[in-house]
Amino acid sequence: MIRPVIAGNWKMNKTVAESVAFAVRLLAAYDTAPGPEVIIAPPFTALQAVAEAIRGSFIALCAQNLHEAEKGAYTGEISGGMLREAGCTAVIIGHSERRTLFGEGDDRINRKLQAALTTGLKPIFCIGESLRQREEDETETVIAHQLKEGLNNLTADDIVRLAIAYEPVWAIGTGKTASPEQAERVHRFIREWIAGRYGPECAATLAILYGGSVTPANIAGLMAQPDINGGLIGGASLDVDSFIRIIGN
């Protein structure tokens, strides 16, 4: 049985004060920990303050990115060790915005995955196709390529320490979303690919999240699918009441 994961990616939103206020309100909504694993990814500036606010709670702290090097002359970057020191236990890697806006390719994403695992962070590894690729029936080819290259040199022991997020690029921030059935087909393909490469036991324990305009209105239909184990939530995670409804779907 795979424990569901609900992860909120705040992107470049929220001040330190707003981030802490969100975390405090989220904690106040529960007398006991909810069923899903709950993860929030504030901007870098708020990580340490949010870590203090959620210390000892059911909420896990996640970074939105990291550099693959341990240290060095990389102005503006941050390492996995620095993220751990700030209180993070997870990190998003390969988000479509990093791929398209910042030119991150599969090889660099692979190095980032290895760096995260080395420093004890749980990677949320993002993959997904563009609208053109979907319309040209290239979804599975694109997904297989991103999996093969992104997970290069990783072992089954590594795979069980990460989560995969399928985020169709055409559905991110657009208000569009894949139907539950469309999303399930890709999630099943991902699980079958992992089973073929790393074994059925590894695939059976892997959390595969859906990301792409997830809202309180559509989360239940997505989560009802057998191979969808949670969500990587963007815009709908910025409002605490909306995020709480998604957690409790």
Catalytic annotation, pick one of 95, 104, 129, 184: 95
Contacts of 201 (CB under 8 A, 6+ apart): 156
| Sequence-distant contacts of 93-96: CB under 8 A, at least 24 apart | 93/65, 93/66, 93/123, 93/124, 93/125, 93/126, 94/125, 94/126, 94/127, 94/146, 94/150, 95/9, 95/64, 95/65, 95/126, 95/167, 96/126, 96/128, 96/167, 96/169, 96/172
Catalytic annotation, pick one of 68, 129, 167, 184: 167
Catalytic residue status for 167: yes
Catalytic residue status for 187: no
Token pair recorded at residue 179:
């139907």
Q: State the catalytic residues.
A: 95, 167
